[in-house]
Homo-oligomer: A and B are copies of this chain.
Amino acid sequence: MQVHEVNLQGCVIDDPLLGQYQALVRDVVIPYQWAALNDQIPEAEPSHAIDNFRIAAGQKEGTFYGMVFQDSDVAKWLEAVAWSLVQQPDPGLEKTADEVIALIAAAQQADGYLNTWFTVKAPEQRWSNLAECHELYCAGHLIEAGVAWFGATGKRQLLEIVCKLADHIDQMFGPEPDQLQGYPGHPEIELALVRLYEVTQEQRYLQLARFFVEQRGAQPHYYDIESDRRGGSYFWPVHGPAWMIKDKAYSQAHLPLAQQNTATGHAVRFVYLLAGVAHLARLCGDEEKRQTCVRLWQNMVERQLYITGGIGAQSHGESFSTDYDLPNDTAYAESCASVGLMMFARRMIELEGESHYADVMEKALYNTVLGGMALDGKHYFYVNPLEVHPATLASNHIHDHVKPVRQRWFGCACCPPNIARLLTSLGHYIYTRRDDVVLVNLYVGNVTTLGDLRLHLHGNYPQQENIRIVIEAAPDAPRGIALRIPDWCSNATWTVNGDELSGEHIKGYVHLRRVWRAGDEISLHLPMAVRRVYGHPQLRHVAGKVAVQRGPLVYCLEQADNGPALHNLRLPPDSVFGQLAGEGALAGLVLLQAKGLKHARPSHTALYAYDTTPQTTPVSLIFIPWFAWANRGEGEMCVWVREH
């Protein structure tokens, strides 16, 4: 079975919602982030990322500033620029990016090594602390950028830089006695090397990715070996001396992957790692790796996933908690983790051709990923809680990581460029080409060439229920177009040129197979009844509560519409939902309205009262798409509402 990656050069997004986000990325995010990377935004935390490269290249005096992984912000920005230029050429921007690439080339060492922290601060310590110091992680992001820049522009310079870097890494790491048997504390290079292999067909890159994956968790443990070599020194004392080295589950290195059964540790590391493993499993036909991916995906999705597509229940270590522990108001649910979840999901679709992976991918995209960025493109959430009570955030330190409104930039600015590169490369997620079948995973409006097919997907998803796919070009041979039937839709209908056509139902997709002609039209109707969603009986943080969903969008209550003390609101089981058109910041969105009850004990000064009868006031509840919360100032928000 052959999977062909969608060529983004042949993909134009014209979706009302996501097209607008792409325009935002192009017009606002990329310039804004460029300014941020150059420390030109006075009120934001400094980045220094470009200056770090200048200093490493010897073009500027000074010292490194920022996180040990600061380079990756530049790489992710370049990736976003690459995919954005495909959507809309911009010679000025391309020139800027070329200059950045030249700067990166200048910062690369003669042997191929490339990392500004080590080059500037401690060249003699290269590759001595993989557990903590993110060299391979940064290399991975640079490789992804190189692959993207080549794919978007056809220019080879950055690709050559990263091949030289990958060659250097391939020399340093491997099973031979004169090589290091290590692997990254923060996975990323695995998935990047596999992508580099796909572009270059260089088998060594595939082998190196396998080496990193298969070496993981081997005993004696490499983190300890390198720690001993360093005399026990460590880099991050955040949770005590050497905690990142000791807590091996934090980086999914406590056991070989084949022996791991639960999503654990730092959520971003987990999904980045598994994205690479899933890709490897497919390319190598490796059944053990496939089973590992299926098993760990299952634990994550069936026991540790927020309804919003967020993962990582706690701030400590930005990590998973344990089965069924998903608190709402102390959630971490990092934006980057949901970007990584989409990357993992995409590769699982490629591997398995099953729609439930796309269901989760869609959930993450339309809720946490979109929610991570403000509708102005200039403010971001790093943390995505499902309930916020601003008045107590500053007083109770269990909420220290939670912000009630999006921030302009972060000292650790991983999320904004990650969202940007995801939104500019949506074509990779919309379609999956497996042999001669095109799986339609997401109903984002677009025109895309998929080999010898060209499809134009029309619609205004997920605001509207109808999707049309017009075949603009097709070969004179049968091809499969497979429509994903979303898990939230129980009564989808479709026609081809007006005729009902049942198609073949395979793994959650309706496969329509025929010789297509230009002008053929598939029409898909996905009724978006408002659904009440309930948690698994073990999910104690939502017991007795209901969430509201329409299409893939999870809704929430905000103080802006419903007043304060949201905890006193109830959505009775028999309340019927009406629709409202959003206005102002929420223009273009479908809001929901339902009869609710405000349920409160009579006002009393005593903190506790005996045997009082509650007062119940009828109220009109307004629900808005959760991804759009906190765009109208600071206020309370909650996803889960009491029913009784």
Q: Which of A315-336 contact B (CB under 8 A)?
A: 315-317, 320-322, 324-325, 327, 330
Question: When the two chains form their complex, are residues A536 and B567 in contact, meaning their CB atoms are under 8 A apart?
Answer: no
Q: Give Cα A324 to B325, complex, Å.
A: 24
Distance from A248 Cβ to chain B, minimum over Cβ atoms (Å): 15
With A322-B395, A544-B544, A544-B642 known as contacts, the answer to whether A608 contacts B536 (CB < 8 A) is: yes
Question: Which residues of chain B are near A398, meaning CB under 8 Å?
Answer: 314-316, 327, 330, 398
Question: Which residues of chain B are near A396, meaning CB under 8 Å?
Answer: 313-314, 316, 321-322, 325, 327
Q: Which of A553-607 contact B (CB under 8 A)?
A: 565, 567-568, 570, 599-601, 603-607
Q: Give Cα A325 to B395, complex, Å.
A: 9
Question: When the two chains form their complex, are residues A610 and B531 in contact, meaning their CB atoms are under 8 A apart?
Answer: yes
Q: A255 on the interface (CB 8 Å rule)?
A: no
Question: When the two chains form their complex, are residues A488 and B610 in contact, meaning their CB atoms are under 8 A apart?
Answer: yes
Question: Which residues of chain B are near A600, meaning CB under 8 Å?
Answer: 537
Question: When the two chains form their complex, are residues A534 and B392 in contact, meaning their CB atoms are under 8 A apart?
Answer: no
With A398-B398, A543-B642, A544-B642 known as contacts, the answer to whether A537 contacts B568 (CB < 8 A) is: yes
Count residues of chain A with CB under 8 A from any CB of chain B. Answer: 61
Question: Which residues of chain B are near A605, meaning CB under 8 Å?
Answer: 302
Q: Give Cα A313 to B398, complex, Å.
A: 10
Question: When the two chains form their complex, are residues B392 and A607 in contact, meaning their CB atoms are under 8 A apart?
Answer: no
Q: Give Cα A313 to B531, complex, Å.
A: 36
Q: Give Cα A232 to B543, complex, Å.
A: 50
Q: Give Cα A338 to B315, complex, Å.
A: 30
Q: A233 on the interface (CB 8 Å rule)?
A: no
Q: Give Cα A307 to B567, complex, Å.
A: 19
Known: A314-B398, A315-B398, A644-B644. 15 other contacts (CB 8 A): A303-B607, A317-B397, A321-B395, A325-B392, A327-B396, A327-B398, A398-B398, A533-B610, A534-B608, A534-B610, A536-B606, A537-B601, A543-B599, A544-B642, A544-B644
Instruction: Give the top 9 A-B pairs by smallest Cβ distance, nearest first.
Output: A316-B397, A644-B644, A322-B395, A540-B567, A537-B600, A543-B567, A321-B396, A325-B392, A321-B395
25 A-B pairs with CB atoms under 8 Å apart are: A301-B607, A307-B607, A307-B608, A316-B397, A321-B392, A321-B395, A322-B394, A325-B389, A325-B396, A327-B398, A389-B540, A531-B610, A533-B608, A533-B609, A533-B610, A534-B609, A536-B607, A536-B609, A540-B567, A543-B567, A543-B642, A544-B642, A547-B608, A549-B610, A642-B644
